[in-house]
Amino acid sequence: MIRLMATVMTFMAGLVAGATQAHEVMPTIADLSISDGAAVLELRLNAEAFAAGVDLDGLEDTDTTDRSAAYDALRALPPEEMATRMAPVAARIAREIQLLNGDASVVLTVEDLAIGELGNVDFARESSLTLRGALDAPQAALVLNWPEGYGTLVLRQIGPEDPYTGIIEGGGTSGAIHPAGGDAKSGFGVFAEYIPVGFDHILPKGLDHILFVLGLFFLTTQLGPLLWQITAFTAAHTVTLALGALGIVSVPGYIVEPIIAASIVYVAVENILSPKMHAWRPVVVFCFGLLHGLGFASVLGEFGLPEGQFIPALLGFNVGVELGQLTVIALAFLAVGLWFGRKSFYRPYIAVPASVVIAMVGAYWCVERVI
């Protein structure tokens, strides 16, 4: 029994360590516009990661790389000093990105570099890099080769009615990008492309959402109460995800994020105090789900939704989120619920200790996000 409890607590402690020290890697967002015989590529990127020489391919957390110390030091620099450090790196990025115009390579040069203001160093600041290149054949299609080590790129064409949108991993290549649009992905193609985006936001990057879902799971392993909670949570965050993505509802992150952390504390504490689900629990979970949906919407806003394919992209992202949540439930059930869920010691030695750890993490986040 002691060994079992220690295993559960070790697992939860691992979540705590990853959650409280996570430096999540975000994708680079690129807007490509074609006009006046030139291509302009506007990149929103984590400049410190590029300047520190971090290999972003497949990376989830900068703390796991041997360049983390250099990365953290750069994040503490004022914008002017960081711009000086970044200038030669920006020139290298311009050289390494290969943009083909028909059969010819486009020579990209740095047009502008803007470093974000210095804020909370626990969070990556967003900087922008604008590259420009003259086109030998302005009417010919473009293809962009994204270099290895650069991580994920979300590439969006600006201008035509039927623009190109694609998600490219390091070392990957875009499809053909036509100046006048056309040959865009089908609705199903966009739907399928955004499923892994939603899933990735839950597993492995959505530690706050993972802990909330685990809080729902540890109340009881009985299917009925669990389904009531998951249904309420899914219905709620689907509504606000759509409203947030449409721009109808917008709540600042400094309000949403502490309340999301508080929701984690609530479900965990109720697990500790109550051995069963009360009638109000699904209602409370629904209300918290509305706020989690706004959090999902902010992530989707960072990726952007393709014009003309808004609905397929939104549905794909939401399906990915749901698959991620169901995967969390399935893994928790296979790890402890299947083997110990009906045992008399499950609640006092597994569910309650795990809920204590979840509550502690949520409380830490709540304080951290308010200060």
Element (H, E) at 31: strand 28-35
Residue 201 located in a structural domain? yes
Element (H, E) at 35: strand 28-35
Residues 231, 321, single domain; the answer is yes
User: Tens of pLDDT along 281-302?
Assistant: 889 999 999 989 988 887 777 6
Which residues lie closer than 8 Å to 335 by C-beta, 6 or more apart?
11
Residues 177, 200, single domain; the answer is no
Residues 177, 197, single domain; the answer is no
Using CA atoms, how far residue 112 sits from 14, 29, 152, 290, in Å, is 42, 16, 22, 39
More confident residue, 312 or 2: 312
Report d(CA 17, CA 366) in Å as an integer: 16
Residue 10 located in a structural domain? no
pLDDT at 64: 77
User: Tens of pLDDT along 314-364?
Assistant: 888 889 988 998 999 999 999 998 889 888 899 999 999 999 999 999 999
Last residue of a domain, one of 156, 184, 212: 184
Mean per-residue pLDDT over the chain, rounded: 85
Tokens of 272: 């500790």
Last residue of a domain, one of 130, 158, 184: 184
Last residue of a domain, one of 184, 214, 229: 184
CA 23, 27, 30 angle in degrees (round to 5)? 145
48 within 8 A of 65, measured Cβ to Cβ: no
pLDDT at 18: 42
Give all strands of the β-sheet with 142-145 in edge-to-edge order: 104-106, 98-101, 142-145
Residues 200, 316, single domain; the answer is yes
Alpha-carbon torsion 363, 366, 368, 371, what sign? negative
Residue at 304: amino acid letter: G
Residue 24 located in a structural domain? no
pLDDT at 121: 66
pLDDT at 6: 46
Residue 202 located in a structural domain? yes
Residue 249 located in a structural domain? yes
Residue 338 located in a structural domain? yes
Range of the domain at 206: 193-370
Residues 346, 317, single domain; the answer is yes
Q: How confident is the model at residue 307 (pLDDT cuts 50, 70, 90)?
A: low
Residues 176, 248, single domain; the answer is no
Lowest mean pLDDT among 11-15, 132-136, 292-296, 306-310: 11-15
Span 180-198, average pLDDT: 77
Residues 198, 252, single domain; the answer is yes
Residues 240, 138, single domain; the answer is no
- The full length of the chain comes to 371
User: Tens of pLDDT along 48-95?
Assistant: 999 999 999 988 777 778 888 899 899 889 999 999 999 999 999 999
Residues 114, 255, single domain; the answer is no
Residue 59 located in a structural domain? yes
Residues 291, 203, single domain; the answer is yes
pTM of the model: 0.64
Residue closest to 234 by CA, chosen among 341, 326, 354? 326
Residue 8 located in a structural domain? no
Our count of domains for the chain comes to 2
User: Tens of pLDDT along 234-274?
Assistant: 889 889 988 888 888 888 878 888 999 999 999 999 999 98
Can you list the pairs that 111-114 forms with residues at least 24 positions away whose Cβ atoms lie under 8 Å? 111/40, 113/83, 113/86, 113/87, 114/83
Residues 242, 312, single domain; the answer is yes
Residues 178, 234, single domain; the answer is no
pLDDT at 225: 83
